[in-house]
């Protein structure tokens, strides 16, 4: 099935089986391996991408649903978050980080002046086993301040 | 210094194992049966073989006889189940196909006829079955039976089955022919994997290459060989590279921590001094030994904690079962042992009317004191950790309603009988490369090694490359474990740098004096001189200076652990909690951590590791457990039902401190760190809950249901 999403600002055309997910289309067909797979059931947030302005778990989106949609992945993001995550020591193994940054960016786009509770709410669907949560919250708040 | 490899991780550029591709690789899917233990009657591949794109369907019959068996210490695990499966998740067949879809479809069409057999799933069942005993260790000193105590506390504590749940599931690739095989696996110990794969193939180690990309979290779950030996065979049988990416559910089936039931009888004098510890610990291994026996021995050896203990008797047993093979997991048995011993101190303090911090102060081994007779004495001022934790938590300050505080120590031995080699190459332009087989799984090894080399050679960090994880390139390291790498690999790098400086001085001495006023004098070779010196020495062909550094702790065959600890990793943790009596929910108001690290080479990394480990400990204390049904199937085998701490589960306030007396054996007086946080948390939170709710719970996890029942039903 031919799917025509715009990914990170570039129009793409991909031919994938209809039952494939947006996640596998990005990783396997488009070579954009920055978005990660972990739980495959929408619980961990590692696969978070932005679809038409909303943060979604791409493992739960069928590839055909992305036809004609605007997708933003970690590769398409250039944001103060990426600096503050490093400055605040929020990155350890790094596997959850693309999902975290995408989810955080999506929140900051809608809410540029979040409280700590807002940040925790926005990221409650992103698991981090290294558990750098405290530093992640600090990084998001610092990025919010840097963007103002 | 900003984390090395950090910007790659923040932009999605970092390539983890599942992000790598080999042209022409076949996709592998494993076939399992739907219970823990079963006799395999027949395997019918015919329907599966019809699926377009299937190239190989391998089962036990396709392998050499007898089936090769693997294990890091005990080679007991077959590549695929032979005649019988022994745990839920043990593969019985492997399908290799051109696409993932084809492999998945074919795997679902492999017909396995099986007969379910009775399974041993719990410690009670394993103890009752005579054939499940794997090993027993006895440690101790003094005479427990003759010891006279004023107060005896006797309890049984249990620790559940929990799983690593790294956000990166297991993934691996293999490629090769009779001339050699290469395995890609995010392993913490490339050289252990090399040895085990070579043994499985009956090949020399020199024909096996392990490439180890940085793990996306490991915590011990990617440390010891699992499915890689199978992958080596599949690559050779298929004549094609093979790629296996497990789902999270499959990964959960493959690795867990040993669970335990610990009966402990502790004797105290009226002043709270520890008179004896009488410990009988049963640890439940899985179907195959993996490295779990060592977790039992190592943790129980130091089960009395960092305290002066007049008499001790420790009997530790490892029991096999039809469950997921238990393996290494951050803490390596010590979280289980600490949960018991530290909780005993808390109870004794209550009975004797002694403050629960004070009872520790009275018993804490002083620096230089051999708290385990004949072994490495206390190597730190541990009372400083106690003081800092007490101050940070506000010990003794008035508590609000339904609130309580608890405090606990955790102590873990470093690696024993280990060795690390490092190669340092000073290039012709004065930049440098470090070759090391340490695995950077988030603890920040890359960064710390860069810092050491930068300081020793005077080269800016951005001119230093760290090459890791390739047995064809990076020299031998026994393991990335036991919080050892800053000390051992750090010292190896430091020594290699010292040798670089020595070689440079020798080069300078060999060169004739320069015509101009600036002489290349033996004593004054600095980083600004490197390029010039090497140009003068080698000429236009250029050249480099190369050095090897080694750090080793001696192998002592008569020592119960094979060698003495090089340092002790010690953490004091204190928790303040608030209990909701109506729901059993526990809110951690404040957590204080004080770890004795000798010297924090990268304070931010130490803090991240200590706090991250503590939150992981909150997981096994309050919410994590693998739940099995009567068939031995893991019922909560995924992210939906196996709950690890989320961003909403962290303490409202975490205060972490370090004790830095520069008294460690590592570079600049450092010791190891990274596991301390997970050792002490359970007993600290347990004691806090005890004070807040007036109930003593000795079984983890302290779920809301368990706490509610303890408050309302007992």
Query: How far B328 CA sits from the closest chain A CA (Å)?
Result: 16
Q: For residues B264, B286, B89 and A96, what is the CA-based torsion angle, rounded to 10 degrees?
A: 60
Query: Taking CB atoms and an 8 Å limit, are B612 and A75 in contact across chains?
Result: no
Give the C-alpha distances (Å, rounded to integers) separating B26 from A32, B148, B469, B679, B698.
20, 67, 24, 42, 49
Query: Taking CB atoms and an 8 Å limit, are A124 and B101 in contact across chains?
Result: no
Ordered DSSP codes for B431-467: -EEEEE----SSS-HHHHHHHHHHHHHT--GGGEEEE
Tokens representing residue B373 in the block: 């007779």
Residue A128, helix vs strand vs coil = coil
- The Cα–Cα gap between A145 and B675 comes to 34
Torsion over CA: A11, A12, A17, A21 (sign):
negative
Query: How far B166 CA sits from the closest chain A CA (Å)?
Result: 6
Residues in chain A with CB shorter than 8 Å from the CB of B19 are: 27, 33
Tokens representing residue A132 in the block: 């750098």
Residues in chain A with CB shorter than 8 Å from the CB of B11 are: 34, 74-75, 77, 82
N-term to C-term CA, chain A: 43
**Residues pairing with B171 in the sheet:** B245
Tell me the count of A-B CB pairs closer than 8 A: 154
DSSP 8-state assignment for residue B131: G
Of B12, B171, B444, which to mutate for an interface test with A (greatest number of A Cβ within 10 Å)?
B12
Give the C-alpha distances (Å, rounded to integers) separating B417 from A14, B379, B491, B563.
54, 18, 15, 5
B675 is catalytic: yes
- The Cα–Cα gap between B452 and B456 comes to 6
Query: How far B320 CA sits from the closest chain A CA (Å)?
Result: 28
Query: CA nearest A85 in B: which residue?
Result: B10
Tokens representing residue B424 in the block: 């340092």
Bin B394: left if φ > 0, else alpha if -120 < ψ < 50, else beta: left
Of A18, A129, A141, which to mutate for an interface test with B (greatest number of B Cβ within 10 Å)?
A129
**Residues pairing with B587 in the sheet:** B578
Candidate from A44, A82, A134 with C-beta closest to B650: A134
Residues in chain B with CB shorter than 8 Å from the CB of A86 are: 2-3, 6-7, 10
Query: Taking CB atoms and an 8 Å limit, are A33 and B19 in contact across chains?
Result: yes
Query: How far A105 CA sits from the closest chain B CA (Å)?
Result: 12
Residue B524, helix vs strand vs coil = helix
Our measurement of the distance from residue B93's CA atom to the centroid of its chain's CA atoms, rounded to an integer in Å, reads 29
Of B7, B16, B166, B167, which to mutate for an interface test with A (greatest number of A Cβ within 10 Å)?
B167
- The predicted structure's pLDDT at residue B522: 52
- Would an 8 Å CB–CB cutoff place B657 in contact with chain A? no
- Would an 8 Å CB–CB cutoff place A87 in contact with chain B? yes
| Residue of B168, B624, B675, B691 with catalytic role | B675
- The predicted structure's pLDDT at residue B519: 56
Q: Which residues of chain B have pLDDT under 70?
A: 515-523, 714
Residues in chain A with CB shorter than 8 Å from the CB of B214 are: 93-94
Q: What is the pLDDT of residues B499-540, one digit of tens each?
A: 999 999 999 999 887 766 555 555 578 888 899 999 999 998
Query: Taking CB atoms and an 8 Å limit, are A89 and B654 in contact across chains?
Result: no
* Interfacial A residues in 36-75 facing B (CB < 8 Å): 36-41, 43-44, 46, 73-75
Sheet with B54-59, side-by-side order of all strands = B54-59, B93-97, B26-31, B242-245, B171-177, B180-184, B208-211
- Cβ-based neighbours of B150, under 8 Å, separated by 6 or more: B268, B269, B270
What average pLDDT score do residues A91-110 get?
A: 98
- Would an 8 Å CB–CB cutoff place B653 in contact with chain A? no
Query: Taking CB atoms and an 8 Å limit, are B216 and A97 in contact across chains?
Result: no
Query: Taking CB atoms and an 8 Å limit, are A38 and B168 in contact across chains?
Result: yes
Tokens representing residue A74 in the block: 């970690």
- Would an 8 Å CB–CB cutoff place A100 in contact with chain B? no
Residues in chain B with CB shorter than 8 Å from the CB of A87 are: 2
- The Cα–Cα gap between B439 and B185 comes to 11
- The predicted structure's pLDDT at residue B518: 57
- The predicted structure's pLDDT at residue B520: 55
Query: CA nearest A39 in B: which residue?
Result: B248
- Would an 8 Å CB–CB cutoff place B362 in contact with chain A? no
Contact B58, B15 (CB under 8 A): no
* Interfacial B residues in 169-188 facing A (CB < 8 Å): 169
- Cβ-based neighbours of B488, under 8 Å, separated by 6 or more: B415, B418, B419, B420, B477, B551, B552, B553, B566, B666
- The Cα–Cα gap between B217 and B442 comes to 7
- The Cα–Cα gap between B198 and B522 comes to 47
Residue B75: other Cβ atoms inside 10 A: 16
Residues in chain B with CB shorter than 8 Å from the CB of A98 are: 12
Torsion over CA: B689, B693, B698, B699 (sign):
negative
Residues in chain B with CB shorter than 8 Å from the CB of A82 are: 7, 10-11
Q: What is the pLDDT of residues A3-24, one digit of tens each?
A: 999 999 999 999 999 999 999 9
Contact B609, A131 (CB under 8 A): no
Contact A57, A45 (CB under 8 A): yes
Query: How far B5 CA sits from the closest chain A CA (Å)?
Result: 9
Residues in chain B with CB shorter than 8 Å from the CB of A39 are: 248, 638-640
Residue B24: other Cβ atoms inside 10 A: 9
* Interfacial B residues in 240-279 facing A (CB < 8 Å): 245, 247-248
* Interfacial B residues in 97-156 facing A (CB < 8 Å): 101
pLDDT band at residue A126 using 50, 70 and 90 as cut-offs:
very high
- Cβ-based neighbours of B226, under 8 Å, separated by 6 or more: B170, B254, B255
Query: CA nearest B619 in A: which residue?
Result: A129
pTM of the model: 0.97
Query: How far A136 CA sits from the closest chain B CA (Å)?
Result: 9
- The predicted structure's pLDDT at residue B714: 64
Query: How far A107 CA sits from the closest chain B CA (Å)?
Result: 15
Query: CA nearest A89 in B: which residue?
Result: B604
Torsion over CA: B641, B642, B647, B653 (sign):
positive
Query: If residue B657 lies in a helix (H) or strand (E), which one and from where to where?
Result: strand B653-659
| Of B77, B81, B84, nearest in space to B118 by CA | B84
Q: For residues B690, B694, B700 and B703, what is the CA-based torsion angle, rounded to 10 degrees?
A: -120
**Residues pairing with B26 in the sheet:** B242
Query: CA nearest B249 in A: which residue?
Result: A39
Query: How far B690 CA sits from the closest chain A CA (Å)?
Result: 26
DSSP 8-state assignment for residue B149: -
């Amino acid at each position: 099935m031919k799917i025509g999403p715009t990914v990170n600002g570039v129009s793409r055309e991909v031919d994938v089986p209809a039952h494939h997910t947006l996640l596998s289309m990005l990783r396997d067909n488009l070579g954009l391996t920055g978005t990660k797979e972990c739980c495959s059931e929408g619980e961990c947030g590692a696969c978070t991408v932005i679809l038409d302005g909303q943060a979604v778990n791409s493992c739960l989106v069928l590839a055909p649903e992305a036809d004609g949609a605007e997708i933003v992945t970690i590769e398409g993001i250039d944001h103060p978050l990426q600096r503050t995550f490093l400055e605040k020591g929020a990155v350890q193994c790094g596997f959850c980080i693309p999902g975290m940054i995408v989810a955080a960016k999506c929140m900051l786009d809608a809410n540029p002046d979040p409280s700590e509770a807002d940040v925790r709410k926005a990221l409650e669907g992103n698991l981090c086993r290294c558990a750098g949560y405290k530093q992640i919250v600090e990084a998001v708040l610092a990025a919010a301040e840097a963007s103002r | 210094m900003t984390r090395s490899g950090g910007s790659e991780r923040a932009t999605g550029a970092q390539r983890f194992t599942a992000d790598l591709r080999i042209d022409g690789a076949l996709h592998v899917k494993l076939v399992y049966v739907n219970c823990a233990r079963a006799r395999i009657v027949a395997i019918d591949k015919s329907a599966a073989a019809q699926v377009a794109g299937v190239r190989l369907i391998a089962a036990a019959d396709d392998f050499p006889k007898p089936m090769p068996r693997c294990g890091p210490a005990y080679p007991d695990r077959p590549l695929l189940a032979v005649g019988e499966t022994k745990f839920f998740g043990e593969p019985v067949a492997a399908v290799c196909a051109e696409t993932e879809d084809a492999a998945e479809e074919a795997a679902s069409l492999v017909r396995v006829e099986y007969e379910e057999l009775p399974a041993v799933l719990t410690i009670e069942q394993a103890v009752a079955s005579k054939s499940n005993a794997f090993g027993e260790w006895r440690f101790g000193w003094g005479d427990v039976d003759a010891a006279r105590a004023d107060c005896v506390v006797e309890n049984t504590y249990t620790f559940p089955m929990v799983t690593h749940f790294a956000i990166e599931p297991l993934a691996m690739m293999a490629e090769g022919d009779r001339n050699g095989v290469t395995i890609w696996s995010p392993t913490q110990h490339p050289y252990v994997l090399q040895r085990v794969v070579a043994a499985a193939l009956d090949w020399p180690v020199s024909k096996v290459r392990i490439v180890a990309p940085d793990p996306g979290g490991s915590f011990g779950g990617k440390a010891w060989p699992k499915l890689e030996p199978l992958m080596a065979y599949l690559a050779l049988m298929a004549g094609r590279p093979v790629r296996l990416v497990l789902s999270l559910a499959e990964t959960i089936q493959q690795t867990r921590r040993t669970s335990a039931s610990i009966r402990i009888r502790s004797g105290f004098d009226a002043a709270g001094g520890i008179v004896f510890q009488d410990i009988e610990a049963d640890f439940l291994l899985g179907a195959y030994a993996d490295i779990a026996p060592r977790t039992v021995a190592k943790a129980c050896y130091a089960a009395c904690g960092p305290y002066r203990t007049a008499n001790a008797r420790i009997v530790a047993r490892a029991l096999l079962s039809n469950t997921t093979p238990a393996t290494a997991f951050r803490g390596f048995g010590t979280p289980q042992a600490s949960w018991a011993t530290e909780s005993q101190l808390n109870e004794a303090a209550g009975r004797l009317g002694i403050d629960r911090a004070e009872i520790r102060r009275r018993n804490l081994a002083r620096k230089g004191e051999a708290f385990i007779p004949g072994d490495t004495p206390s190597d730190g001022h541990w009372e400083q950790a106690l003081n800092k934790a007490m101050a940070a938590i506000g010990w003794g300050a008035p508590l609000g309603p339904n609130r309580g505080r608890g405090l606990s120590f955790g102590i873990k031995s470093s690696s024993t009988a280990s060795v690390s080699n490092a190669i340092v190459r000073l290039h012709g332009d004065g930049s440098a490369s470090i070759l090391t087989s340490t695995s950077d799984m988030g603890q920040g090894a890359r960064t710390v090694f860069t810092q050491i080399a930068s300081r020793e050679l005077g080269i800016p960090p951005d001119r230093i490359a760290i090459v890791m994880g390739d047995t064809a390139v990076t020299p031998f390291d026994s393991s990335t474990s036991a919080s050892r790498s800053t000390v051992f690999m750090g010292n190896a790098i430091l020594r290699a740098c010292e040798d670089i400086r020595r070689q440079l001085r020798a080069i300078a001495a060999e060169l004739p004096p320069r015509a101009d006023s600036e002489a290349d004098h033996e004593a004054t070779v600095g980083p600004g001189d490197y390029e010039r010196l090497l140009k003068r020495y080698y000429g236009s062909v250029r050249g480099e200076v190369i050095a090897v550094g080694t750090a080793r702790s001696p192998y002592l065959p008569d020592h119960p652990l094979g060698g003495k600890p090089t340092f002790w990793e010690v953490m004091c943790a204190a928790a303040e909690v608030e209990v909701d009596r109506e729901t059993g929910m526990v809110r951690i108001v404040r957590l204080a951590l004080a770890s004795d690290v000798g010297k924090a080479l990268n304070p931010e990394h130490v803090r991240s590791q200590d706090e991250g480990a503590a939150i992981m400990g909150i997981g096994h204390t309050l919410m994590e457990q693998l739940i099995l049904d009567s068939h031995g199937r893991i019922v909560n085998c995924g992210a939906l039902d196996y709950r690890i701490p989320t961003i909403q589960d962290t303490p409202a306030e975490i205060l972490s401190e370090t004790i830095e007396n520069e008294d460690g054996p590592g570079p600049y007086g450092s010791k190891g760190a990274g596991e301390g946080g997970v050792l002490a948390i359970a007993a600290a939170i347990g004691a806090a809950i005890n004070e807040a709710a007036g109930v003593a719970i000795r079984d983890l996890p302290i779920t809301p249901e368990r706490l509610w029942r303890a408050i309302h039903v007992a």
